[in-house]
Protein backbone atom coordinates (compact mmCIF):
# COMPACT_ATOMS: atom_id res chain seq x y z
CA UNK A 1 0.00 0.00 0.00
CA UNK A 2 1.32 3.49 -0.86
CA UNK A 3 1.86 6.06 1.90
CA UNK A 4 -0.77 8.85 1.92
CA UNK A 5 0.49 12.09 0.36
CA UNK A 6 1.66 14.81 2.72
CA UNK A 7 0.08 18.27 2.59
CA UNK A 8 2.62 21.01 3.28
CA UNK A 9 2.66 24.58 4.51
CA UNK A 10 3.28 27.45 2.07
CA UNK A 11 5.75 29.92 3.53
CA UNK A 12 7.72 32.66 1.79
CA UNK A 13 6.52 31.64 -1.69
CA UNK A 14 7.20 27.92 -1.51
CA UNK A 15 5.90 24.63 -0.16
CA UNK A 16 7.49 23.80 3.19
CA UNK A 17 7.13 20.30 4.68
CA UNK A 18 5.81 20.14 8.22
CA UNK A 19 8.64 19.72 10.72
CA UNK A 20 6.78 19.52 14.02
CA UNK A 21 6.45 15.74 13.98
CA UNK A 22 2.68 16.16 14.51
CA UNK A 23 0.32 15.20 11.71
CA UNK A 24 -3.42 15.25 11.11
CA UNK A 25 -5.26 12.74 8.93
CA UNK A 26 -7.29 14.01 5.99
CA UNK A 27 -10.12 11.68 4.97
CA UNK A 28 -12.03 11.02 1.80
CA UNK A 29 -15.47 11.18 3.45
CA UNK A 30 -17.09 9.10 0.71
CA UNK A 31 -14.88 6.07 1.41
CA UNK A 32 -13.86 6.74 5.01
CA UNK A 33 -10.22 6.20 4.02
CA UNK A 34 -7.29 8.49 4.88
CA UNK A 35 -6.29 10.23 1.65
CA UNK A 36 -3.48 12.41 2.96
CA UNK A 37 -1.75 13.66 6.06
CA UNK A 38 -1.15 17.27 6.98
CA UNK A 39 1.65 18.70 9.12
CA UNK A 40 0.34 20.49 12.21
CA UNK A 41 2.47 23.58 12.85
CA UNK A 42 4.64 24.06 15.91
CA UNK A 43 5.20 27.50 17.49
CA UNK A 44 8.49 27.69 15.51
CA UNK A 45 6.61 27.22 12.25
CA UNK A 46 4.15 29.95 13.28
CA UNK A 47 7.16 32.24 13.76
CA UNK A 48 8.51 31.31 10.32
CA UNK A 49 5.22 32.08 8.57
CA UNK A 50 4.76 35.39 10.39
CA UNK A 51 8.40 36.35 9.74
CA UNK A 52 7.97 35.65 6.00
CA UNK A 53 4.87 37.83 5.93
CA UNK A 54 6.54 40.58 7.91
CA UNK A 55 9.54 40.61 5.57
CA UNK A 56 7.26 40.85 2.51
CA UNK A 57 5.02 43.59 3.90
CA UNK A 58 7.04 46.80 3.32
CA UNK A 59 7.52 46.28 -0.42
CA UNK A 60 3.92 45.14 -0.92
CA UNK A 61 2.58 48.11 1.04
CA UNK A 62 4.59 50.36 -1.28
CA UNK A 63 3.52 48.59 -4.48
CA UNK A 64 1.35 50.92 -6.54
CA UNK A 65 -2.39 50.36 -6.58
CA UNK A 66 -2.16 49.52 -10.27
CA UNK A 67 0.50 46.88 -9.60
CA UNK A 68 -1.63 45.32 -6.85
CA UNK A 69 -4.76 45.37 -9.01
CA UNK A 70 -2.88 43.67 -11.86
CA UNK A 71 -1.83 40.80 -9.62
CA UNK A 72 -5.44 40.44 -8.46
CA UNK A 73 -6.72 40.38 -12.05
CA UNK A 74 -4.15 37.69 -12.92
CA UNK A 75 -5.15 35.67 -9.83
CA UNK A 76 -8.81 35.99 -10.82
CA UNK A 77 -8.10 34.54 -14.27
CA UNK A 78 -6.05 31.66 -12.83
CA UNK A 79 -8.66 30.69 -10.23
CA UNK A 80 -11.37 30.80 -12.92
CA UNK A 81 -9.23 28.62 -15.21
CA UNK A 82 -8.63 26.09 -12.42
CA UNK A 83 -12.14 26.21 -10.91
CA UNK A 84 -13.00 22.63 -11.91
CA UNK A 85 -9.77 21.25 -10.48
CA UNK A 86 -10.30 23.20 -7.23
CA UNK A 87 -13.87 21.93 -6.97
CA UNK A 88 -12.75 18.30 -7.31
CA UNK A 89 -10.04 18.83 -4.70
CA UNK A 90 -12.54 20.34 -2.26
CA UNK A 91 -15.02 17.54 -2.87
CA UNK A 92 -12.38 14.85 -2.25
CA UNK A 93 -11.63 16.15 1.27
CA UNK A 94 -14.91 17.80 2.31
CA UNK A 95 -17.38 15.38 0.72
CA UNK A 96 -19.70 17.96 -0.89
CA UNK A 97 -20.70 17.26 -4.50
CA UNK A 98 -18.41 18.75 -7.16
CA UNK A 99 -21.11 21.08 -8.56
CA UNK A 100 -21.63 22.54 -5.07
CA UNK A 101 -17.87 22.93 -4.60
CA UNK A 102 -17.76 24.77 -7.95
CA UNK A 103 -20.41 27.10 -6.55
CA UNK A 104 -18.24 27.97 -3.57
CA UNK A 105 -15.26 28.71 -5.84
CA UNK A 106 -17.51 30.99 -7.92
CA UNK A 107 -18.71 32.90 -4.83
CA UNK A 108 -15.12 33.26 -3.59
CA UNK A 109 -14.10 34.59 -7.01
CA UNK A 110 -16.67 37.35 -6.68
CA UNK A 111 -14.70 38.70 -3.72
CA UNK A 112 -11.51 38.62 -5.82
CA UNK A 113 -13.38 40.58 -8.49
CA UNK A 114 -14.52 43.08 -5.86
CA UNK A 115 -10.91 43.44 -4.63
CA UNK A 116 -9.73 44.12 -8.21
CA UNK A 117 -11.34 47.52 -7.72
CA UNK A 118 -8.85 48.39 -4.99
CA UNK A 119 -7.71 51.71 -6.53
CA UNK A 120 -11.27 52.95 -6.13
CA UNK A 121 -11.86 51.29 -2.75
CA UNK A 122 -8.85 52.98 -1.15
CA UNK A 123 -9.81 56.54 -2.03
CA UNK A 124 -9.77 58.74 1.04
CA UNK A 125 -11.54 62.05 1.60
CA UNK A 126 -10.16 65.55 0.94
CA UNK A 127 -11.33 68.94 2.23
CA UNK A 128 -9.75 72.06 0.88
CA UNK A 129 -9.41 75.14 3.09
CA UNK A 130 -10.47 73.71 6.46
CA UNK A 131 -8.67 76.81 7.66
CA UNK A 132 -7.08 79.54 5.58
CA UNK A 133 -4.80 77.76 3.12
CA UNK A 134 -5.00 74.58 5.24
CA UNK A 135 -6.23 71.29 3.72
CA UNK A 136 -7.34 68.10 5.46
CA UNK A 137 -7.47 64.61 4.04
CA UNK A 138 -7.69 60.99 5.09
CA UNK A 139 -5.64 58.07 3.82
CA UNK A 140 -6.29 54.35 4.25
CA UNK A 141 -3.18 52.37 5.12
CA UNK A 142 -2.69 48.60 5.56
CA UNK A 143 -2.18 47.11 9.02
CA UNK A 144 0.83 44.84 8.36
CA UNK A 145 0.67 41.07 8.93
CA UNK A 146 -2.92 39.84 9.26
CA UNK A 147 -4.15 36.30 9.90
CA UNK A 148 -7.20 34.32 8.78
CA UNK A 149 -8.43 31.19 10.57
CA UNK A 150 -11.09 29.28 8.66
CA UNK A 151 -13.55 26.37 9.05
CA UNK A 152 -13.84 23.09 7.16
CA UNK A 153 -17.16 23.77 5.48
CA UNK A 154 -15.98 26.24 2.81
CA UNK A 155 -12.27 25.52 2.32
CA UNK A 156 -11.99 27.95 -0.61
CA UNK A 157 -14.81 30.47 -0.26
CA UNK A 158 -14.35 31.51 3.37
CA UNK A 159 -10.59 32.15 2.99
CA UNK A 160 -11.52 34.11 -0.15
CA UNK A 161 -13.86 36.30 1.95
CA UNK A 162 -10.69 37.48 3.64
CA UNK A 163 -7.41 37.38 1.76
CA UNK A 164 -8.30 39.10 -1.55
CA UNK A 165 -9.41 42.21 0.33
CA UNK A 166 -6.56 42.07 2.87
CA UNK A 167 -3.92 41.66 0.15
CA UNK A 168 -5.48 44.27 -2.13
CA UNK A 169 -5.31 46.73 0.77
CA UNK A 170 -1.54 46.13 1.03
CA UNK A 171 -1.33 43.67 3.93
CA UNK A 172 0.61 40.40 4.12
CA UNK A 173 -1.56 37.39 4.99
CA UNK A 174 -1.13 34.18 6.98
CA UNK A 175 -3.97 31.70 6.45
CA UNK A 176 -4.60 28.88 8.92
CA UNK A 177 -7.14 26.69 7.13
CA UNK A 178 -9.11 23.83 8.64
CA UNK A 179 -6.95 20.75 9.16
CA UNK A 180 -9.86 18.63 7.85
CA UNK A 181 -9.61 19.85 4.23
CA UNK A 182 -6.36 21.81 3.84
CA UNK A 183 -5.46 21.22 0.16
CA UNK A 184 -7.53 23.97 -1.48
CA UNK A 185 -5.58 26.68 0.37
CA UNK A 186 -2.31 25.29 -0.83
CA UNK A 187 -3.51 25.23 -4.43
CA UNK A 188 -4.68 28.84 -4.09
CA UNK A 189 -1.20 29.75 -2.79
CA UNK A 190 0.38 28.24 -5.92
CA UNK A 191 -2.01 30.25 -8.09
CA UNK A 192 -1.09 33.46 -6.23
CA UNK A 193 2.58 32.76 -6.97
CA UNK A 194 1.77 32.16 -10.64
CA UNK A 195 -0.18 35.44 -10.69
CA UNK A 196 2.96 37.31 -9.65
CA UNK A 197 2.25 37.96 -5.98
CA UNK A 198 5.62 38.58 -4.30
CA UNK A 199 6.85 35.76 -2.04
CA UNK A 200 5.65 36.01 1.56
CA UNK A 201 2.58 38.17 0.91
CA UNK A 202 0.37 35.07 1.14
CA UNK A 203 1.31 32.17 3.42
CA UNK A 204 -0.53 29.02 4.47
CA UNK A 205 0.15 27.65 7.91
CA UNK A 206 -1.39 24.21 8.38
CA UNK A 207 -2.33 23.24 11.88
CA UNK A 208 -4.66 23.05 14.81
CA UNK A 209 -5.08 24.90 18.08
CA UNK A 210 -1.30 25.24 18.54
CA UNK A 211 -1.04 27.25 15.31
CA UNK A 212 -4.09 29.34 16.20
CA UNK A 213 -2.83 30.20 19.66
CA UNK A 214 0.58 31.01 18.19
CA UNK A 215 -1.01 33.53 15.82
CA UNK A 216 -3.25 35.01 18.52
CA UNK A 217 -0.27 35.64 20.78
CA UNK A 218 2.21 36.77 18.12
CA UNK A 219 3.12 40.46 18.51
CA UNK A 220 3.62 40.89 14.75
CA UNK A 221 0.07 39.79 13.87
CA UNK A 222 -1.98 42.98 13.78
CA UNK A 223 -5.44 41.62 12.98
CA UNK A 224 -7.27 38.30 13.05
CA UNK A 225 -10.27 37.23 10.96
CA UNK A 226 -11.95 34.05 12.14
CA UNK A 227 -14.86 31.97 10.87
CA UNK A 228 -15.95 28.84 12.73
CA UNK A 229 -18.06 27.65 15.64
CA UNK A 230 -19.30 30.02 18.35
CA UNK A 231 -17.25 28.70 21.31
CA UNK A 232 -14.02 29.00 19.31
CA UNK A 233 -15.09 32.39 17.89
CA UNK A 234 -15.56 33.68 21.43
CA UNK A 235 -12.10 32.38 22.45
CA UNK A 236 -10.50 34.00 19.37
CA UNK A 237 -12.25 37.31 19.98
CA UNK A 238 -11.32 37.48 23.66
CA UNK A 239 -7.70 36.39 23.21
CA UNK A 240 -6.95 38.56 20.18
CA UNK A 241 -8.62 41.59 21.76
CA UNK A 242 -6.69 41.07 25.03
CA UNK A 243 -3.52 41.09 22.95
CA UNK A 244 -4.48 44.40 21.37
CA UNK A 245 -5.31 43.04 17.93
CA UNK A 246 -8.14 44.03 15.67
CA UNK A 247 -10.49 41.03 15.43
CA UNK A 248 -13.61 39.85 13.64
CA UNK A 249 -14.84 36.38 14.69
CA UNK A 250 -17.82 34.91 12.87
CA UNK A 251 -19.48 32.04 14.74
CA UNK A 252 -22.17 29.40 14.38
CA UNK A 253 -25.77 29.65 13.30
CA UNK A 254 -29.31 28.36 13.60
CA UNK A 255 -31.17 29.74 10.63
CA UNK A 256 -34.97 29.90 10.68
CA UNK A 257 -37.20 30.01 7.62
CA UNK A 258 -40.67 31.35 8.39
CA UNK A 259 -43.49 30.21 6.12
CA UNK A 260 -46.62 32.38 6.37
CA UNK A 261 -50.04 30.96 5.41
CA UNK A 262 -50.19 33.00 2.20
CA UNK A 263 -46.83 31.75 0.89
CA UNK A 264 -46.44 29.77 -2.31
CA UNK A 265 -45.93 26.37 -0.66
CA UNK A 266 -44.19 24.80 -3.64
CA UNK A 267 -41.64 27.60 -3.68
CA UNK A 268 -41.23 27.29 0.10
CA UNK A 269 -40.80 23.50 -0.02
CA UNK A 270 -38.22 23.77 -2.84
CA UNK A 271 -36.35 26.38 -0.80
CA UNK A 272 -36.45 24.44 2.48
CA UNK A 273 -35.12 21.28 0.83
CA UNK A 274 -32.41 23.09 -1.18
CA UNK A 275 -31.24 25.21 1.75
CA UNK A 276 -31.63 22.46 4.34
CA UNK A 277 -29.79 19.68 2.55
CA UNK A 278 -27.38 21.39 0.12
CA UNK A 279 -23.83 20.50 1.19
CA UNK A 280 -25.44 18.03 3.64
CA UNK A 281 -26.52 20.96 5.82
CA UNK A 282 -22.88 21.85 6.54
CA UNK A 283 -23.36 25.50 5.64
CA UNK A 284 -23.45 28.40 8.08
CA UNK A 285 -26.40 29.74 6.07
CA UNK A 286 -28.22 26.39 5.83
CA UNK A 287 -31.85 26.45 6.86
CA UNK A 288 -32.07 24.25 9.94
CA UNK A 289 -35.52 25.24 11.25
CA UNK A 290 -38.68 25.66 9.21
CA UNK A 291 -41.16 27.72 11.22
CA UNK A 292 -44.57 26.79 9.82
CA UNK A 293 -47.25 29.30 10.75
CA UNK A 294 -50.69 27.64 11.21
CA UNK A 295 -52.30 26.16 9.24
CA UNK A 296 -49.52 25.39 6.68
CA UNK A 297 -47.64 22.71 8.68
CA UNK A 298 -49.10 19.45 7.31
CA UNK A 299 -49.35 20.63 3.72
CA UNK A 300 -45.80 22.02 3.73
CA UNK A 301 -44.42 18.87 5.34
CA UNK A 302 -46.04 16.69 2.66
CA UNK A 303 -44.42 18.76 -0.06
CA UNK A 304 -41.02 18.66 1.70
CA UNK A 305 -41.26 14.89 2.12
CA UNK A 306 -42.09 14.39 -1.57
CA UNK A 307 -39.01 16.37 -2.61
CA UNK A 308 -36.69 14.67 -0.11
CA UNK A 309 -37.73 11.26 -1.45
CA UNK A 310 -36.28 12.28 -4.84
CA UNK A 311 -32.87 13.41 -3.55
CA UNK A 312 -29.86 11.40 -4.66
CA UNK A 313 -27.13 10.83 -2.08
CA UNK A 314 -23.71 9.65 -3.21
CA UNK A 315 -20.00 10.38 -3.58
CA UNK A 316 -19.16 13.98 -4.48
CA UNK A 317 -17.64 12.97 -7.83
CA UNK A 318 -20.72 11.02 -8.97
CA UNK A 319 -22.54 13.46 -11.29
CA UNK A 320 -25.90 11.97 -10.26
CA UNK A 321 -25.36 12.82 -6.58
CA UNK A 322 -27.00 15.93 -5.14
CA UNK A 323 -25.76 15.45 -1.59
CA UNK A 324 -22.53 13.88 -0.35
CA UNK A 325 -21.35 12.43 2.97
CA UNK A 326 -20.53 14.36 6.14
CA UNK A 327 -17.00 15.53 6.81
CA UNK A 328 -15.85 13.03 9.47
CA UNK A 329 -17.10 9.90 11.19
CA UNK A 330 -17.31 11.69 14.58
CA UNK A 331 -19.38 14.50 13.09
CA UNK A 332 -21.71 12.05 11.33
CA UNK A 333 -22.21 10.10 14.58
CA UNK A 334 -22.96 13.29 16.50
CA UNK A 335 -25.51 14.42 13.89
CA UNK A 336 -27.14 10.95 13.94
CA UNK A 337 -27.51 11.21 17.74
CA UNK A 338 -30.09 14.00 17.26
CA UNK A 339 -32.46 11.60 15.48
CA UNK A 340 -33.19 9.23 18.38
CA UNK A 341 -32.53 12.07 20.81
CA UNK A 342 -35.18 14.20 19.12
CA UNK A 343 -37.73 11.38 19.21
CA UNK A 344 -36.96 10.72 22.90
CA UNK A 345 -37.70 14.37 23.60
CA UNK A 346 -41.06 14.25 21.76
CA UNK A 347 -40.30 15.09 18.10
CA UNK A 348 -41.56 12.97 15.20
CA UNK A 349 -39.09 11.49 12.71
CA UNK A 350 -40.88 12.42 9.48
CA UNK A 351 -37.95 11.30 7.27
CA UNK A 352 -35.15 9.06 8.61
CA UNK A 353 -31.91 9.72 6.71
CA UNK A 354 -30.36 6.49 8.03
CA UNK A 355 -32.58 4.66 5.55
CA UNK A 356 -31.55 6.68 2.48
CA UNK A 357 -29.84 4.54 -0.18
CA UNK A 358 -26.36 5.65 -1.27
CA UNK A 359 -25.37 5.59 -4.95
CA UNK A 360 -22.58 3.08 -5.63
CA UNK A 361 -20.69 1.42 -2.82
CA UNK A 362 -21.21 3.23 0.52
CA UNK A 363 -18.10 1.51 1.97
CA UNK A 364 -17.10 3.06 5.27
CA UNK A 365 -18.14 6.56 4.12
CA UNK A 366 -19.62 9.05 6.57
CA UNK A 367 -23.19 8.85 5.28
CA UNK A 368 -26.42 10.22 6.56
CA UNK A 369 -29.30 11.03 4.20
CA UNK A 370 -31.69 13.97 4.49
CA UNK A 371 -33.68 13.82 7.71
CA UNK A 372 -36.78 15.73 8.80
CA UNK A 373 -37.82 16.09 12.44
CA UNK A 374 -41.38 17.38 12.87
CA UNK A 375 -43.11 18.86 15.93
CA UNK A 376 -39.80 20.14 17.29
CA UNK A 377 -40.12 22.58 20.22
CA UNK A 378 -37.65 25.17 21.52
CA UNK A 379 -36.65 23.13 24.59
CA UNK A 380 -35.37 20.19 22.55
CA UNK A 381 -31.64 19.71 21.91
CA UNK A 382 -32.38 19.37 18.19
CA UNK A 383 -33.64 22.95 18.30
CA UNK A 384 -31.13 24.43 20.73
CA UNK A 385 -27.91 23.03 19.23
CA UNK A 386 -26.34 23.88 15.91
CA UNK A 387 -26.53 20.37 14.38
CA UNK A 388 -24.62 21.30 11.19
CA UNK A 389 -25.85 18.31 9.23
CA UNK A 390 -28.75 17.19 7.00
CA UNK A 391 -31.44 17.50 9.67
CA UNK A 392 -34.32 19.87 9.05
CA UNK A 393 -36.50 20.63 12.07
CA UNK A 394 -40.09 21.78 11.68
CA UNK A 395 -41.47 23.99 14.45
CA UNK A 396 -45.17 24.81 14.25
CA UNK A 397 -46.39 28.18 15.55
CA UNK A 398 -49.76 29.90 15.69
CA UNK A 399 -48.83 33.35 14.36
CA UNK A 400 -46.25 35.66 12.79
CA UNK A 401 -45.63 37.16 16.25
CA UNK A 402 -44.82 33.75 17.70
CA UNK A 403 -42.40 33.07 14.84
CA UNK A 404 -40.65 36.38 15.44
CA UNK A 405 -40.42 35.76 19.20
CA UNK A 406 -38.82 32.39 18.55
CA UNK A 407 -36.12 33.91 16.35
CA UNK A 408 -35.53 36.82 18.75
CA UNK A 409 -35.03 34.42 21.66
CA UNK A 410 -32.47 32.34 19.76
CA UNK A 411 -28.88 33.17 20.72
CA UNK A 412 -27.70 32.99 17.09
CA UNK A 413 -28.46 35.65 14.49
CA UNK A 414 -26.70 34.69 11.26
CA UNK A 415 -29.32 34.27 8.54
CA UNK A 416 -33.09 33.97 8.28
CA UNK A 417 -35.78 33.95 5.62
CA UNK A 418 -39.46 34.62 5.30
CA UNK A 419 -41.74 33.13 2.65
CA UNK A 420 -44.88 35.14 1.93
CA UNK A 421 -46.69 36.99 -0.84
CA UNK A 422 -47.55 39.85 1.52
CA UNK A 423 -45.10 42.72 0.98
CA UNK A 424 -46.19 44.41 4.20
CA UNK A 425 -45.47 41.30 6.28
CA UNK A 426 -42.09 40.85 4.60
CA UNK A 427 -41.16 44.47 5.23
CA UNK A 428 -42.19 44.20 8.85
CA UNK A 429 -40.06 41.08 9.26
CA UNK A 430 -37.04 42.73 7.65
CA UNK A 431 -37.43 45.62 10.08
CA UNK A 432 -38.08 43.63 13.26
CA UNK A 433 -35.97 40.51 13.06
CA UNK A 434 -32.68 40.47 15.02
CA UNK A 435 -30.58 38.69 12.44
CA UNK A 436 -27.73 39.99 10.27
CA UNK A 437 -28.76 38.57 6.87
CA UNK A 438 -32.39 38.34 5.79
CA UNK A 439 -33.96 36.65 2.78
CA UNK A 440 -37.42 37.46 1.45
CA UNK A 441 -38.55 34.44 -0.56
CA UNK A 442 -34.80 33.67 -0.77
CA UNK A 443 -33.63 30.88 1.53
CA UNK A 444 -29.84 31.44 1.71
CA UNK A 445 -29.40 35.20 1.62
CA UNK A 446 -25.61 35.28 1.26
CA UNK A 447 -24.73 38.91 0.45
CA UNK A 448 -22.86 39.73 -2.74
CA UNK A 449 -19.14 40.51 -2.44
CA UNK A 450 -19.75 44.28 -2.53
CA UNK A 451 -22.05 44.03 0.51
CA UNK A 452 -20.68 42.56 3.73
CA UNK A 453 -21.26 39.10 5.22
CA UNK A 454 -21.93 38.65 8.90
CA UNK A 455 -24.47 37.78 11.54
CA UNK A 456 -25.65 39.33 14.79
CA UNK A 457 -25.63 38.15 18.40
CA UNK A 458 -23.54 35.00 18.99
CA UNK A 459 -22.96 34.58 15.26
CA UNK A 460 -20.36 37.36 15.23
CA UNK A 461 -17.97 38.78 17.80
CA UNK A 462 -16.49 42.09 16.73
CA UNK A 463 -17.62 45.13 14.81
CA UNK A 464 -16.86 44.41 11.16
CA UNK A 465 -18.49 41.95 8.84
CA UNK A 466 -16.51 40.21 6.09
CA UNK A 467 -15.73 41.63 2.60
CA UNK A 468 -17.48 44.60 0.97
CA UNK A 469 -16.68 48.02 2.41
CA UNK A 470 -16.61 46.63 5.97
CA UNK A 471 -13.83 44.29 4.84
CA UNK A 472 -11.86 47.21 3.42
CA UNK A 473 -12.26 49.10 6.71
CA UNK A 474 -11.22 46.05 8.71
CA UNK A 475 -7.97 45.64 6.79
CA UNK A 476 -6.98 49.32 6.78
CA UNK A 477 -6.55 52.08 9.29
CA UNK A 478 -7.30 55.66 8.58
CA UNK A 479 -4.83 58.45 8.98
CA UNK A 480 -6.13 62.02 9.02
CA UNK A 481 -3.66 64.59 7.72
CA UNK A 482 -3.90 68.33 8.11
CA UNK A 483 -1.50 70.16 5.84
CA UNK A 484 -0.35 73.71 5.24
CA UNK A 485 2.29 74.73 2.75
CA UNK A 486 3.79 77.97 3.85
CA UNK A 487 3.60 80.93 1.58
CA UNK A 488 4.77 84.44 2.45
CA UNK A 489 1.35 85.32 3.92
CA UNK A 490 1.25 82.66 6.65
CA UNK A 491 0.95 85.25 9.39
CA UNK A 492 3.91 84.53 11.68
CA UNK A 493 3.89 83.25 15.26
CA UNK A 494 0.49 82.85 16.95
CA UNK A 495 0.21 81.13 20.35
CA UNK A 496 -3.60 81.09 20.33
CA UNK A 497 -5.59 77.83 20.15
CA UNK A 498 -6.01 76.83 16.48
CA UNK A 499 -9.48 77.77 15.31
CA UNK A 500 -11.02 77.61 11.90
CA UNK A 501 -11.22 81.26 10.94
P1 LIG B 1 -14.33 25.04 14.32
O2 LIG B 1 -14.68 26.18 15.21
O3 LIG B 1 -14.19 23.68 14.93
O4 LIG B 1 -12.93 25.32 13.59
C5 LIG B 1 -12.68 26.54 12.91
C6 LIG B 1 -11.18 26.81 12.92
O7 LIG B 1 -10.74 26.97 14.27
C8 LIG B 1 -10.34 25.70 12.32
O9 LIG B 1 -9.31 26.29 11.56
C10 LIG B 1 -9.81 24.94 13.53
O11 LIG B 1 -8.54 24.37 13.30
C12 LIG B 1 -9.71 26.02 14.59
N13 LIG B 1 -9.99 25.54 15.95
C14 LIG B 1 -10.83 24.53 16.31
N15 LIG B 1 -10.85 24.40 17.65
C16 LIG B 1 -10.03 25.35 18.15
C17 LIG B 1 -9.64 25.73 19.47
N18 LIG B 1 -10.13 25.11 20.53
N19 LIG B 1 -8.78 26.76 19.61
C20 LIG B 1 -8.29 27.40 18.53
N21 LIG B 1 -8.62 27.08 17.27
C22 LIG B 1 -9.48 26.07 17.07
O23 LIG B 1 -15.38 25.03 13.14
P24 LIG B 1 -15.57 23.95 11.99
O25 LIG B 1 -16.16 22.71 12.56
O26 LIG B 1 -14.34 23.84 11.16
O27 LIG B 1 -16.65 24.69 11.06
C28 LIG B 1 -18.04 24.64 11.30
C29 LIG B 1 -18.50 25.83 12.11
O30 LIG B 1 -18.18 27.04 11.43
C31 LIG B 1 -20.01 25.86 12.30
O32 LIG B 1 -20.29 26.26 13.62
C33 LIG B 1 -20.47 26.92 11.31
O34 LIG B 1 -21.68 27.55 11.62
C35 LIG B 1 -19.35 27.88 11.38
N36 LIG B 1 -19.31 28.74 10.22
C37 LIG B 1 -19.73 30.02 10.37
C38 LIG B 1 -19.75 30.87 9.30
C39 LIG B 1 -20.21 32.29 9.43
O40 LIG B 1 -20.08 33.01 8.49
N41 LIG B 1 -20.74 32.71 10.56
C42 LIG B 1 -19.30 30.41 8.04
C43 LIG B 1 -18.86 29.09 7.92
C44 LIG B 1 -18.86 28.26 9.03
Number of domains in the chain: 2
Report the pLDDT value the prediction gives residue 488, as an integer from 0 to 100: 65
Q: Are residues 350 and 271 in the same domain?
A: yes
Angle (CA) 18 19 22, round 5°:
80
Q: Give the ligand 1 atom nearest the CA of 331.
A: 25
- Which residues line the pocket of ligand 1, CB cutoff 6 A? 149-154, 158, 176, 178-179, 208-209, 212, 227-229, 232, 235, 250-253, 284, 386, 388, 414, 455, 459
Gap between the Cα atoms of 34 and 162, Å rounded: 29
Q: Are residues 204 and 280 in the same domain?
A: no
Q: What is the DSSP letter of 417?
A: E
The residue contributing the CA closest to ligand 1 atom 32 is 229
Residue 130 burial (CB count, 10 A): 14
Pocket test for ligand 1, best of 152, 182, 229, 238 (most atoms within 8 A of CB): 229
Report the pLDDT value the prediction gives residue 15, as an integer from 0 to 100: 98
Q: Are residues 100 and 221 in the same domain?
A: yes
- 344 domain-assigned: yes
- Sign of the torsion formed by the C-alpha atoms of 323, 329, 331 and 332: positive
- 496 domain-assigned: no
Kind and range of the H or E run holding 55: helix 43-62
Q: How far is the CA of 52 from the centre of ligand 1 (A)?
A: 25
Q: How far is the CA of 248 from the centre of ligand 1 (A)?
A: 13
- 245 domain-assigned: yes
Report phi then psi at 404, rounded to 5. Answer: -65, -40
Report the pLDDT value the prediction gives residue 500, as an integer from 0 to 100: 64
Q: How far is the CA of 211 from the centre of ligand 1 (A)?
A: 14
pLDDT tens profile 347-394? 999 999 999 999 999 999 999 999 999 999 999 999 999 999 999 999
Gap between the Cα atoms of 253 and 469, Å rounded: 23
Beta strand extents in 186-234 (DSSP E only) = 202-204, 221-227
- 332 domain-assigned: yes
Q: Are residues 364 and 468 in the same domain?
A: no
Q: Are residues 310 and 225 in the same domain?
A: no
Residue 174 sits in a domain whose CATH number is: 3.40.605.10
Report the pLDDT value the prediction gives residue 322, as an integer from 0 to 100: 98
Q: Are residues 272 and 188 in the same domain?
A: no
The residue contributing the CA closest to ligand 1 atom 19 is 209
The residue contributing the CA closest to ligand 1 atom 34 is 252
Report the pLDDT value the prediction gives residue 498, as an integer from 0 to 100: 77
Rg (the chain; Cα; Å): 25
- Residue 198, CA atoms < 13 Å, CB-side half-sphere: 20
Q: Give the ligand 1 atom nearest the CA of 154.
A: 43
> What pairs with residue 415 in β-bridges?
437
Q: Which of 284, 287, 292, 404 is catalytic?
A: 284
CB-CB contact of 152 with 178 (8 Å): yes
Report the pLDDT value the prediction gives residue 23, as an integer from 0 to 100: 97
Is the pTM higher than 0.75? The answer reads: yes
Report the pLDDT value the prediction gives residue 393, as an integer from 0 to 100: 98
Taking only the tens of pLDDT, the chain with its 501 residues reads 567 899 999 999 999 999 999 999 999 999 999 999 999 999 999 999 999 999 999 999 999 999 999 999 999 999 999 999 999 999 999 999 999 999 999 999 999 999 999 999 999 999 999 998 899 999 999 999 999 999 999 999 999 999 999 999 999 999 999 999 999 999 999 999 999 999 999 999 999 999 999 999 999 999 999 999 999 999 999 999 999 999 999 999 999 999 999 999 999 999 999 999 999 999 999 999 999 999 999 999 999 999 999 999 999 999 999 999 999 999 999 999 999 999 999 999 999 999 999 999 999 999 999 999 999 999 999 999 999 999 999 999 999 999 999 999 999 999 999 999 999 999 999 999 999 999 999 998 999 999 999 999 999 999 999 999 999 999 999 999 999 987 766 667 888 887 765
Residue 298 sits in a domain whose CATH number is: 3.40.309.10
Q: How far is the CA of 143 from the centre of ligand 1 (A)?
A: 24
Q: Give the ligand 1 atom nearest the CA of 180.
A: 26
The residue contributing the CA closest to ligand 1 atom 35 is 228
Q: How far is the CA of 1 from the centre of ligand 1 (A)?
A: 33
Q: Are residues 278 and 410 in the same domain?
A: yes
Gap between the Cα atoms of 425 and 421, Å rounded: 8
- 494 domain-assigned: no
Q: Are residues 435 and 477 in the same domain?
A: no
Q: How far is the CA of 161 from the centre of ligand 1 (A)?
A: 15
Task: Name the residue range of residue 286's domain.
Answer: 255-440
The residue contributing the CA closest to ligand 1 atom 17 is 209
Q: Are residues 95 and 244 in the same domain?
A: yes
Gap between the Cα atoms of 373 and 126, Å rounded: 58
Q: Are residues 226 and 99 in the same domain?
A: yes
Can 169 be counted among the known catalytic residues?
A: no
Q: Are residues 17 and 144 in the same domain?
A: yes
Amino acid sequence: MTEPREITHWIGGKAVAGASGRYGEVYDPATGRVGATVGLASPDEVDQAVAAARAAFPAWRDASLTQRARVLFAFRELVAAHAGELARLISSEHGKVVSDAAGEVARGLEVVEFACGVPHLLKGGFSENVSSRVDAYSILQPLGVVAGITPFNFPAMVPMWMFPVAIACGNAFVLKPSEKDPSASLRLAELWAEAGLPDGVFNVLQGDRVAVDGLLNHPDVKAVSFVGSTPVARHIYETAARNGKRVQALGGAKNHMVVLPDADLDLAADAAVSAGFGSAGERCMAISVVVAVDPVGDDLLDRVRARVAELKVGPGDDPRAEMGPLVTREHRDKVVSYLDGGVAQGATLAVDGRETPVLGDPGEGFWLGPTVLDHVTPEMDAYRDEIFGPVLSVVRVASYEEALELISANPYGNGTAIFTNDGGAARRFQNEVEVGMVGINVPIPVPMAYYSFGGWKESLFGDSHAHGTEGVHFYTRTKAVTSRWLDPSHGGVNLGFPTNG
